[in-house]
Amino acid sequence: MIQKILRVSFGIVGILVGMALANVLVTNTWILRNLEITLTPELEVILYAALIVLFGLIFFILFPLMLKGVKKLSKVVETSMENVRLIDIGLGIGGLVIGLVIAMLISFAFSQIPIPWIGGLLTISIYIVLGYIGFSLPIKKREDILQAFQNDKREKDANVPVGQKRPAKKKGAAIPKLLDTSVIIDGRIFDICKTGFIEGPLVIPVFVLNELQLISDSSDELKRNRGRRGLDILNKIQTDLEIEVQITEDEVDSKLVKLGKSTKGKILTNDYNLNKVATVQGVDVLNINELANAVKPIVLPGEEMKVLLVKGGKENGQAVAYLDDGTMIVVENGKKYIGTTTAVIVTSILQTAAGRMIFAKPKK
């Protein structure tokens, strides 16, 4: 139905185009003089009718082809814009507007040129050149622009009386936190920093950025999306949070643990193996998974709860349920209750580095 309405509307546009063209032919004496045509009122009516019908039919008939072309063009634009970040679009549009305003001011001088076509050509050229420069330059200099805004914000904060400064901006003996690739891709670090539980500075080694770049350029779609998510998280931390972020080029043999030793910082990660290696070498680790487990509600043996049993367990007769936070509950002899909400009694809790598991039995 919508396509039919659009097709009729497109046909009306063709009618208007035909009417405009007929009006140009009728009122333009130069065309009539060169074609040696003398228009009578009857010929004018015929000309109007012919062009209106002709262009109306052309636009009406060609609408499916035009619609198909528009769809292809939109897919191409959508594909090309898929990897473009919102901040790049904003900077590009802002730069384009500034470039066009400058071009408009310069074009006033060209209007004084006595030869019209030269002034018009120069005006078009300056609009194209400055529009392109205004759009592309801010995107290429994105990092410098963001850094300038951050430096300006730091200078303003430095001039604020000490009692009025936000705690996150106070620079003292806060221990540096080194971010590894896994915790950046995970994304929860942004929300944790936003709550103010982690003091800065956050240190991001160059080799971590390089690893994120390699992942985001991977031919595997899943890895590519994870890498781009990590870069987006870093960008959000730098632009949206009141926390100091440092990019260090000190790669120290590209080993995060050695860098933690040299800076006396703590490693932020959710990588179980990295956690173990760092602990053995005496480097403090803040594990996001351990934090998530620590803030889960405490359940004690003997406590009663109601859970929905969703599937069978590994052992015979077992059933499995989940709490809202994702904690697994294994219910012994609960297989016959699968698909129902059942009252169970907690018998034991198993805490591992990977998470918490609760064992229970049906209430008799």
Q: What is the CATH number of the domain that holds 271?
A: 3.40.50.1010
Residue whose pair of structure tokens reads 């990660």 in the numeric block: 269
Task: Tell me whether residue 121 is in a domain.
Answer: no
- End position of a domain, from candidates 293, 324, 347: 293
Kindly state whether residues 180 and 282 are assigned to the same domain: yes
- End position of a domain, from candidates 81, 105, 138: 81
- End position of a domain, from candidates 33, 51, 81: 81
Which token pair is 8? 């009729």
* Confidence (pLDDT) at 27: 79
pLDDT in tens, 89-148: 788 888 889 988 998 888 877 777 766 667 778 888 888 888 888 888 887 777 777 777
pLDDT in tens, 220-268: 888 888 888 888 888 888 888 878 887 776 554 346 777 777 777 788 7
This prediction has a pTM of: 0.37
Number of domains in the chain: 3
Task: Tell me whether residue 29 is in a domain.
Answer: yes
The rounded distance, in Å, linking the Cα atoms of 37 and 46 is 14
Count how many residues are written for the chain. 364
Task: Tell me whether residue 91 is in a domain.
Answer: no
Q: Where is pLDDT greater, at 27 or 164?
A: 27
* Confidence (pLDDT) at 40: 76
Task: Tell me whether residue 118 is in a domain.
Answer: no
Kindly state whether residues 286 and 195 are assigned to the same domain: yes
Task: Write out the DSSP string of 214-267.
Answer: HHHT-SSHHHHHHHHHHHHHHHHHHHHSSS-EEEE---GGG-HHHHHHHHT-EE
pLDDT in tens, 167-218: 444 444 578 888 888 888 888 888 888 887 787 788 888 888 888 888 888 8
The three-class DSSP label of residue 307 is strand
Q: What is the CATH number of the domain that holds 313?
A: 2.40.50.140
pLDDT at 32 over 70: no
Kindly state whether residues 232 and 278 are assigned to the same domain: yes
Task: Tell me whether residue 347 is in a domain.
Answer: yes
Task: Tell me whether residue 231 is in a domain.
Answer: yes
Q: Confidence band (pLDDT; 50, 70, 90) for 166? A: very low
Kindly state whether residues 196 and 282 are assigned to the same domain: yes
Kindly state whether residues 336 and 264 are assigned to the same domain: no
* Confidence (pLDDT) at 169: 42
Kindly state whether residues 246 and 356 are assigned to the same domain: no
Domain that holds residue 63: 1-81
Task: Tell me whether residue 101 is in a domain.
Answer: no
Kindly state whether residues 284 and 312 are assigned to the same domain: no
Asked whether 201 and 228 are in contact (CB, 8 A), the reply is no
Q: Confidence band (pLDDT; 50, 70, 90) for 352? A: low
User: Which residues, 6 or more positions from 321, have their beta carbon under 8 angstroms from its beta carbon?
Assistant: 307, 308, 309, 310, 328, 329, 331, 344
pLDDT at 330 over 60: yes
* CB neighbours of residue 239 within 10 Å: 12
Kindly state whether residues 269 and 308 are assigned to the same domain: no
Q: What is the dihedral of CA 90, 93, 95, 97, to 10 degrees?
A: -140
Kindly state whether residues 249 and 313 are assigned to the same domain: no
User: Which residues, 6 or more positions from 210, have their beta carbon under 8 angstroms from its beta carbon?
Assistant: none
Task: Tell me whether residue 126 is in a domain.
Answer: no
Kindly state whether residues 265 and 307 are assigned to the same domain: no
Kindly state whether residues 345 and 266 are assigned to the same domain: no
The rounded distance, in Å, linking the Cα atoms of 203 and 234 is 11
* Confidence (pLDDT) at 325: 67
* Confidence (pLDDT) at 45: 85
Helix (H), strand (E) counts: the chain: 13, 11
pLDDT in tens, 45-90: 888 888 889 988 888 888 888 888 878 877 776 676 666 667 777 8
The region of weakest confidence among 18-22, 23-27, 287-291, 310-314 is 287-291
- Mean pLDDT over all residues of the chain? 79
Kindly state whether residues 247 and 336 are assigned to the same domain: no
